[in-house]
Amino acid sequence: MDAGTSIDLQAIVRDASVLEVLDRLDAELIGLAPVKQRLREIAAFLAVTRARKQLDLDAAPPSLHMSFTGNPGTGKTTVALRIAEILHRLGYVRKGHVVSVTRDDLVGQYIGHTAPKTKEVLKKAMGGVLFIDEAYYLYRPENERDYGQEAIEILLQVMENHRDDLVVILAGYKDRMQTFFRSNPGMSSRIAHHIDFPDYTPAELLAIAQTMSAQMNYDFDAPALDAMREYIAHRLQQPHFANARSIRNALDRMRLRQASRIYREALAGSGSIDARALTRIAAEDVRGSRVFSGGVAIEPRPVVETHIEPSDR
């Protein structure tokens, strides 16, 4: 290779619209500065690796399997979707879709059931990203009749032999993921990128609440905004808080209380209602939560389904 040969790295990034994806992630997710910085570093690495390939600077295909650790509601699934886009735009995967699964999608309940289930999921994920939530549940050493180890062995083989056509992201709580990796050194050795998702600060949670409400054509008046700050402070002291997911659930309940309030007011008055009344969240809509009376907010159990999210390109 002639040392004077050059390639336009800016053109690679521009033609793949990588910065557009990163900017969209900035707009979608509040905070998470360390995560966003790490994603930009991975995007830069992929762009440079592509430039090296175009100049015939041969190297082994990069290992892109990842581990996402952090509490629920910290944006792990959204980041996985954007990573899949970047991988697709830079030519590292063919499709850029995400298949999201849990243990139940991979592990069977009887002999001969696990292998076909796991292979079917892998077939769907090929050309994109396989996102395994709460991945540590794949390994249950206390149960001699558990078939999770069979799924892990199949995954390990595919992660090694098809790493140019599939990226696997393992996600879950940090402490449990560390235990999982210590118990599965083969899996740990195949994970090149470990990204930790921090919890949101109270100020970030308030901004998330405002953003989510605006997306639904609602907004907090000044007293309601103060009440929301208090709600967040109370809710953070309670168990099972799931960051942005809990904020979304709280907003759904506030919308119900707002609708009940508007309905009562309309029936007691002229019956007419304007757009401002329909969009305004008042302090009483927030303070109607049981957290203000010492109760515990009830969080619905999240449902994680297998799904395919196509890239927009």
Q: Read off the pLDDT of residues 5-19 as tens digits, 9 standing for 90 and up.
A: 788 888 888 888 999
**Inter-helix orientation angle 148-161/114-125, to 10°:** 30
Name the one residue in this structure whose structure tokens are 């090296």.
Answer: 52
Residue 303 has pLDDT above 60, yes or no: no
Mean pLDDT in residue range 292-300: 71
Map out the domains of the chain with their CATH numbers.
Answer: 9-199 (3.40.50.300), 202-293 (1.10.8.60)
State what percent of residues in the chain have pLDDT above 70.
92
Q: 193 falls in which pLDDT band (50, 70, 90)?
A: very high
Residue 104 has pLDDT above 70, yes or no: yes
Residue with more model confidence, 274 or 300: 274
Residue with more model confidence, 299 or 135: 135
Lowest pLDDT segment from 41-50, 58-67, 222-231 = 58-67
Mean pLDDT in residue range 111-115: 90
How far apart are the C-alpha atoms of 64 and 102, rounded to whole Å? 20
pLDDT of residue 57: 85
Residue range 59-79, pLDDT digits in tens: 677 889 999 999 999 999 999
pLDDT of residue 299: 66
**How much is the mean pLDDT over the chain?**
89
pTM of the model: 0.86
Q: 3 falls in which pLDDT band (50, 70, 90)?
A: low
